[in-house]
Amino acid sequence: QVQLVESGGGSVEAGGSLRLSCRASGFPFSRYYLGWFRQAPGKEREGVASIDTSGRSTYADFVKGRFTISKDNAENTLYLQIDSLEPEDTAVYYCAAGHARIGSYSLLHRIHYPHLGQGTQVTVSS
């Protein structure tokens, strides 16, 4: 079955960086749409970044050039590099995967990703 295991979260000061990883198994990694979502306390889960089967990436507006999504098909691993961290980035970050694009929704929409990992906590202090 599909398994997504995130790692790399932690507690950092504002301005710092983190690299999140998501180790995937149980599906043809290179042929799936992949994404990162986050959920802050008291807020809804939101799409952060996505990467399609051709390697094209999409980012949420609030990323402001600070996040970079990438993947290693040989290692079945998805990454999210986060630089210039802000306290507002504090959230649980989830890795997501889906085999097909649904309609014309943005690839940051949850509808494309039936599979979600357990999440990794990112805490940014000011």
What is the band of 37 on the pLDDT scale with cuts at 50, 70, 90? very high
Q: Over 90: is that where the pLDDT of 64 sits? A: no
Q: What mean pLDDT, rounded, does the chain reach? A: 96
What is the band of 83 on the pLDDT scale with cuts at 50, 70, 90? very high
What pLDDT is stored for residue 124 in this prediction? 98
CA angle 62, 80, 76 (to 5 degrees): 145
DSSP code string of the chain? --EEEEE--EEEETT--EEEEEEEESS-GGGSEEEEEEE-TTS--EEEEEE-TTS-EEE-GGGTT-EEEEEETTTTEEEEEE-S--GGG-EEEEEEEESS--TT--TTSGGG--EE---EEEEEE-
